[in-house]
Structure formats: C-alpha cells, structure tokens
Amino acid sequence: MNYRTLGRTGWRVSEISFGAWAIGGLWGDVDDRESLAALHKAVDCGVNFIDTADVYGMGRSEKLCGQLKRERKEEVLIATKAGRKLPQQTVEGYSRENLSVWLDESLRNLGVETIDLLQLHCPSTDLYYHPEAFGLLDDFVRAGKIRYYGVSVERVEEALKAIEFPNVQSVQIIFNMFRHRPARLFFNEAQRRKVGILARVPLASGLLTGKITRETKFAQDDHRNFNRHGEMFDVGETFSGVDLDVALAAVDELKSLLIPGPSLAQFALRWILMFDAVTCAIPGAKRPAQVQENCDASGLPSIPPDIMERIESIYDWKLAPLVDQRW
C-alpha cells in the first residue's frame, strides 16, 4: 500500500482507503460479522483511513468503525460526516446546537474523545456562502471535539468555494472514470491550497467492476434499486448519475482497454491514483475479498498515456454530455 499526505494535517493516508457506507445500510442486506471482517482485512492490507457518516445505518457504520479501532493496535483514522440528520438541507440547520448533538452522537458511536476528521455532509450550495458555519467548526476544533474538518460536496463549484475557508483540510467529491470534471477544474486549485481530496464512489456504485448487467437485480433496500432517478437523495450518488444503458456501453469500451492481469475494478481505482492531487480513493466494500482486490490496485503500474487518452475520449464522447453540466 502506498500512502499520500492529506491536506495540511501531516497524516500519511493509504491511497486506497475504505468507504463505510455499504456496511451501514441502503445497499441491501449486510452482516455485521462480515463487515467487521472486511474492515479488518482493510487494516491487514495497510488501510489506515476510513470514511463513514453518522447516518450510515444511523450509527451502525460508525459503531463498526469504533469496534475495529478498539480491536486493532495500528492507528486507524476515521473521518465521519454530519448534516444529513436534518429533514431538509437548510443553512439554519447547521446551528451550534445541532452540530453539538450530532458530534456527541458520533463520538459515542465511535467510542473516541475527538473526531479525527469531520466532514459536512453535502450541505446545500448556500452554506458555502455562510462563513459563520465554518466558524462554528473552528470552535469545535478549539473545544477538542474534532481534530480537523473538511466537506463532502456534490458539485465542483461547491468544492471551489469550500476551499476558500482556510481550515478546510479535505474535500470529498465523486471522481471516477465516469466523472472527470473535478480533475479539469478543481484539482489544481486544491493542490495549490494543500487541500486533500477523497475520491468517492470510485467504482460508480459497482458499475466499474464490470459485474453489473441490465439483468442484475438489487434488493429492495439497495439504493441501486430505489434511487436510480434520485428518489431519496442526489441521483449522482447512484451509478454516478449516469443512465444505466449509457454506462454499460461505456463499461464495455473500458473493458477493451484492459491489459491482461488487473480486474476492471483495479483498473478503475488505478486510474484515480494517476492523479497526484487525489489523496485517496475510498471504495466501498462489504466483503474481505473485495477489500483485498481493491487494495491491490495500489501496487499496479501506471496506466500508459495512450490508454489515459482513450479513457478521456470515452468520457468526452459518451459521458460528459450527461454529467458535466450537473455536477
């Protein structure tokens, strides 16, 4: 496993880290014992950074992360998020009182005294025009409830605005072979300001593993079943917001670029790591075998420039018209 520096924190973070949404909920049935085994496998593979949120299974994911921390002697940094307990995203919802309650719950779930990295969980664009919200986070740092903070955003423009706040250490954004816009418009500025980037949804909710077909059935409570049109949350979080037929055709083209050896999932993760501005990819995983496969992407050789160009051209022709104007 290779490590990269996260923002100005001084932390060296595994370039393949662990996304802990699926082990909380909204991805069909998960078994806590298997989820914990997946987390342990991640640490075995050198992962030292986990992304979770208070709402993933309403504490279930955070509690599993806390349990992992207690069961391992290695240092494991845990980034969580707050803000999605609000019934509706409003600026007023990010009040001192609400944040304080949410943070206390996360601290209890994780079983720690200080949250390593607290991310605002995709607040509305408006919040980035309210410096007082970031002032509150500075207060929580001073009070010792959080060590560092960052944001998780839907849009590139929100990312650009967020990093104007000097203490934002990290931006979490969808970045994968189906979403190139952050690299084109945001990465240079983030690097210039020494802000870390967490590449989320790196496998486009599993599409970029190549295992999903038109016939694949998802459980009732899997967002890949019920959120394909944004019924519950931003449609971009499900299959990166790309229409399934277009996505599957693009996956076929990407498969044709694979050199023998790595899987498509590994190729997709290695592609993300080609960008120096990225601190880490945070693939979700429910099983130890998935974790192993994903972590092995860190050891793969670089993708040659001609293949990088062909990936870009698939994006430009097939995908950009669908996603570039939205996120």
Q: Mark residues 111-150: x for contact with ligand NAP by CB under 6 A, - for none.
A: ----------xx----------------------------
The footprint of ligand NAP on this chain (CB under 6 A) covers a number of residues equal to 30
237 binds ligand NAP (CB under 6 A): yes
Structure tokens at 78: 């845990």
Q: Which residues contact 287 (CB under 8 A, 6 or more apart)?
A: 34, 37, 38
Measured CA to CA in angstroms, residue 261 lies from 26, 198, 296 at distances of: 32, 26, 12
282 binds ligand NAP (CB under 6 A): yes
Q: Which residues contact 90 (CB under 8 A, 6 or more apart)?
A: 124
Region binding ligand NAP by CB under 6 A among candidate stretches 39-47, 136-144, 279-287, 318-326: 279-287
CB of 142 to ligand NAP, least distance (A): 25
What is the C-alpha separation between 281 and 299, in angstroms, rounded? 14
Instruction: List the helix and strand counts (H, then E) for the chain.
Output: 13, 10
From 83, 320, 303, select the one nearest 182 (Cα to Cα). Answer: 320
286 binds ligand NAP (CB under 6 A): yes
Please say which residue, 144 or 299, places its beta carbon nearer to ligand NAP.
Answer: 299
202 binds ligand NAP (CB under 6 A): yes
Q: Is residue 56 annotated as part of the catalytic site, yes or no?
A: yes
Measured CA to CA in angstroms, residue 117 lies from 93, 160, 192, 264, 308 at distances of: 20, 19, 21, 31, 32
Q: Name residue 119's beta-bridge partners.
A: 81, 150
Q: Exactly one of 284, 297, 298, 315 binds ligand NAP (CB under 6 A); which one?
A: 284
Map the footprint of ligand NAP across residues 173-192, applying CB under 6 A. none
Positions marked active-site: 56
Q: Site residues (CB under 6 A) for ligand NAP?
A: 19-22, 27, 51, 81, 121-122, 152, 172, 200-206, 209, 211, 237, 265, 282-286, 290, 293-294
